[in-house]
Amino acid sequence: MEIGQPSPARVRPGGPGPLLLRTEREHRTGLGAVSVLKARGTVDADNAGRLSAALAAHLADAERAGEHPLLDLTEAHLACAAALRALAAPTGALARAGRALHVVQPRPHVRETLAEAGLPGIRAHADLTTALRALDSGETPPTEPGTVPTAPRPTHR
């Protein structure tokens, strides 16, 4: 599923990329269903609300379907504080329940931004393999300063 299409006015050479969101679902042996929300482009004040709404819907859909939700920020750029608030709002309930959203984001600026923000509902991983391994083991040791350990999520197999 692709949410949002870039407007011709927003696409300009050398400028920030438009925000595109896509959900991919797959089944992993031993782990079960995994749902990955992939964000591509720049998250800024203009589109942060759209990311927040899409992430909230992604988490709710994954919960209803018994899937493990992941957020892939590999191709995303967090441009402002609104981008962090877009992540903090939907993951707050996870943090209060002692869980966290596994986020894949190897770009250094994203890792640094998330570490400085110390969002307890976010668990950062360098790549998809590491995130899936953490889900499969049922343990998610803190990978960034300021994060809290998470309880294993019940699996639906």
Amino acid at 40: R
Quote the pLDDT of residue 153: 42
Rounded to whole angstroms, the Cα distance separating 145 from 6 reads 35
Chain segment 105-116, per-residue pLDDT in tens: 878 888 888 888
Chain segment 71-106, per-residue pLDDT in tens: 999 999 998 999 999 999 999 988 998 889 999 987
CB-based contact 113:144 (threshold 8 Å): no
Quote the pLDDT of residue 86: 93
- Element at 5 (helix H, strand E): none
All structural domains of the chain: 18-137 (3.30.750.24)
The contacts found for 140-144 with CB under 8 angstroms, 24 or more apart, are 140/100, 140/102, 144/111, 144/114, 144/115, 144/118
On the question of pLDDT at 128 being above 80, the answer is yes
Chain segment 26-60, per-residue pLDDT in tens: 999 889 999 999 999 999 999 999 999 999 999 99
CA distances 74 to 9, 42, 65, 113, Å, are 24, 11, 25, 14
Helices (H), the chain: 48-65, 81-96, 108-117, 128-137
